[in-house]
Amino acid sequence: GEDVEQSLFLSVREGDSSVINCTYTDSSSTYLYWYKQEPGAGLQLLTYIFSNMDMKQDQRLTVLLNKKDKHLSLRIADTQTGDSAIYFCAETNTGFQKLVFGTGTRLLVSP
């Protein structure tokens, strides 16, 4: 079946850039997503990318997609303490109802 993998933890200093990585196995993925989960809250969609794109930028967020290597990354510029959260990568190829999520990467931003 499909599999999505992420590293479990990333620590950065405030003001630095953060890069969170994700690899997936399904070569027919059509949409790939980044969700953010703050403590005590549900998941919030940050951004998404279609599989026919290789980059998407949205304010401080940059998503890079390497379809050949099945690698997705999320870059957060000028990381703030409020960015501390768990970030989930997800993909789908069977329609928007069936998303396959990674384990999540916990980002800790220190002052």
Partner 1 sequence: ETGVTQTPRHLVMGMTNKKSLKCEQHLGHNAMYWYKQSAKKPLELMFVYSLEERVENNSVPSRFSPECPNSSHLFLHLHTLQPEDSALYLCASSQDGVYEQYFGPGTRLTVT
53 binding partner 1? (CB under 8 A):
no
41 binding partner 1? (CB under 8 A):
yes
Residues 56-75 binding partner 1 (CB under 8 A) are none
Position among 74, 100, 107, 109 found at the interface with partner 1 (CB under 8 A): 100
Position among 7, 12, 21, 48 found at the interface with partner 1 (CB under 8 A): 48
CA distance 8 to 92: 21
Q: Which is nearer to partner 1, 14 or 61 (CB)?
A: 61
Give the total of residues touching partner 1 (CB under 8 A): 23
